[in-house]
Amino acid sequence: DGMVMTTNKDEIVCHEMIYHVVLNTHPNPKKVLVVGGGDGGAIREILKHSSVEQAVLAEIDGRVIETSKEYLPEIAGSLDDPRVDIQVVDGIEYIHQHKAMFDVIMVDSTEPIGPAVGLFEKGFYQGIYEALKEDGILVAQTESPWFNGELIKRVFKDIQAIFPITRLY
């Protein structure tokens, strides 16, 4: 579609900032879910935390995973780790089928167009709340604040209506 999703040069800025903050905030993250993130960068960063026993990747497009392994091995190299469970599924459906299972859920989605629109809706965040354990934490990438400020405000408001503690960083 002509849009740049990731590059080897700058991906670390996004992946480190989003994922290490939440994994260092949770007291003992053992089971982590990534919705989207087929490039593997989130999984790579998650596996740097020794407490993580399982990292589930719920990616709707298997081609993203295979293409990333072929062309972006620096990012996708950890997808073959035995702690990784790759599910080529719709992440929205996946969370609704897995109640109270995850310590941390991370949303690493594309722009809110096409099949990703549902990843920015209140019902999706309610499903995440139900898929988390009692002390679970959600982190969601919601686009650039310089280009999508209104989207971020709406998502924050939706999440704040569901989760007892909500922070924007």
Helix (H) or strand (E) holding 139: strand 132-140
The Cβ of residue 27 has, within 10 Å, a number of other Cβ atoms equal to: 9
State the amino acid at position 120 in one-letter form. Answer: F
Distance of alpha carbon 88 from alpha carbon 19, whole angstroms: 21
Residue 23 CA, distance from chain mean position:
12
Structure tokens at 81: 């780790």
Is residue 108 annotated as part of the catalytic site, yes or no?
yes
Q: Are 96 and 127 spatial neighbours (Cβ–Cβ below 8 Å)? A: yes
Residue 138, strand partner residues: 105
Phi–psi pair at 153, nearest 5 degrees: -60, -45
The catalytic residue among 80, 108, 135, 158 is: 108
State the amino acid at position 110 in one-letter form. Answer: T
Distance of alpha carbon 88 from alpha carbon 80, whole angstroms: 14
Give me the active site residues, please.
Answer: 108
